[in-house]
Structures are given as C-alpha cells and as structure tokens.
Structure 1
Amino acid sequence: MLKKFYKFIILPYTIFLLYLMFFGMGRFQYDDNIVRLEPIISTFWFIKGSISWFEIIKIVLGNVVMFIPFGFLGWVFPQLKDLKKLIIAFVSAIVIVEALQYFSRMGVFDVDDILLNTFGVYLGWQMCKFLELRFKRFVI
C-alpha cells in the first residue's frame, strides 16, 4: 500500500520541489551567477549571519528533510535499491538542478546544498530499508 501511494505522489512532489528551488520562498533572479564550492563554509556563514533560528532550521534542515522521499526511489526504479547507484543517480541529478539554478540565476550553485540534499536521500534510503524489514506487510 505504501509503495502504491509513493509511486502516485513522487512525481507531483518532485515538480513541487523544483518549483520551490527555482521560484518559491521569495526567490528572485540574481544580478550575477553565484557559485559556492567550499563545503560547509557557506552554511557556517549563513548560520552566523542569520537573524533567527527559525530561518536556520528552515533552510539547513529543510535541505535535508525535503529530500528524504528520494531515498525511496528504489520502489519505483528497482535498480536504485542499491545505495551506491541511488547516490550516483541522485548526485548527478542534483548537480544538474544546481547548475540550472546557476545559469538561470534563480538560485546559487552551492556544494552545501548538494551535500545536505544527498544526506536527506541517504536518510530516506535508511528509512526505506527499516520500513521494508519492520513493516513488510504494510509496504507492499
């Protein structure tokens, strides 16, 4: 039952997430193309310069939590049940999205986003494995 629901919801969820990444949350087109390649540094500076813990949690934790559903992609694409294949496919896709944000100037190419998003996928994959082992009859 969970797999059927997931297969139904993952495409609209992906479209919604892409909308957020390019147009949502007050996005605007930057004057310049921006690249942040130093891991952890941009997140540290964001936290240091942020005026509220809510913003920190929304951005940093959101970059993890919003990508957890992609850890379940093995339910739709059986070859992605393997963690290594899933991570390679996901990182390839998210790098393309980050590059599109860069070229369109509707966001920033940020290595931290790639790392946090990928960690979310890893957490989702772990949750998927747990659900499949613990609640086999509900997953179907």
Structure 2
Amino acid sequence: MRKLAAIITISYTLLLFYWMFMGFGRSNRIAMGYSYNVIPFHTLKMYMNHADHFDMRTWFINVVGNVAVFVPFGIAIPYLIGIRVIRFTLSFIAALFIIEFLQLILRRGSFDIDDVLLNTIGAMIGYFVYWILMRIKAE
C-alpha cells in the first residue's frame, strides 16, 4: 500500500509542479517583471475588499485552490515517512518558500507569502485528517 501511495504522491507532485511553473498561462509571464508580496494577508485582503473586480474562477483558484491542492501532502507525507507535525510543518514551509522563490526568479508566477500561508493551511488540514485516521485505526 505504501508503494502505491508513493507513486500517487510523486505523480501528484509532478502535476503540481506543472501547474505552478507552466499551467495557468505562467509561460507567458517571462516577459513580465518580477511580482511579489511579502506582506501577510495583503493578497487575501485585496480579494476580499475588491471581490467585484475578480471573476469567481480567479478567486476560487487563488484562495480555495491554494488550500485544497496541498491537503493530500498532509496525508501522504506523514503516512510515507512517519514525520511528526512540527517537523512536517517546518519542512513544508521551507519547501514552499523555495518553490515561491523559484516562481519569482524564473518569472513563472510570483512570490506571495499568502500562497505560503494558504498552502500550509491545506497541508495542516491534511495532517489533521491523517492524525484522525491513525487514531481510528489504533482503536
């Protein structure tokens, strides 16, 4: 079962890398300048305060999508390598910073601290689901 979970996790990770560096028109951004946000909740406040200026798809992808797509990692990584919550969270945040930085320097997106926050929330939701499933299994 772990081998299948590892294959699925690796495949999902590759898909996510495609989305983060190539998908959603990111290949067209190379000619554009650098884009970044280092102020926590700035982008989220913008989406809330100016909701009428964004279509639902944009809002959904940037808010709900940034949480939902990382939930599987919160389940799969602890299952595969038995990592505890603090180490998982710190390692996950470090990886997210690297990914966001790469998006910035490769001009395949932007560095947005709000993405790091939303992605981490998604992973933590997944870890909580994993924790509950392990509690149920132990009973």
CA shift in 2, pair 1:41/1:94, >3 Å: same
Q: Aligned in 2, Cα 1:10/1:136: closer, same or farther, shift over 3 Å?
A: farther
1:56 to 51, 55, 59: 59
> Offset at 1:135?
4.4
**In the TM superposition, what are the counterparts of 1:95-134 in structure 2 within 5 Å?**
95-134=97-136
Report how far residue 52 of structure 1 moved.
Answer: 2.3
Give the structure-2-normalised TM-score.
Answer: 0.87
Cα separation, 2, equivalents of 1:66 and 1:105: 22
Aligned to 1:75: 79
RMSD: 1.8
Identity of aligned residues (%): 30
Deviations 1:63-120, CA, capped at 9 Å, x for gaps: 0000001112011112x2x110001110111100000001001110000000000000
Consecutive unaligned residues in structure 1, runs of 5 or more: none
Q: Distance in 2 between matches of 1:51 and 1:103?
A: 26
Out of 94-103 and 68-77, give the one that drifted further.
68-77
CA contact (8 A) 1:7 1:75 kept: no
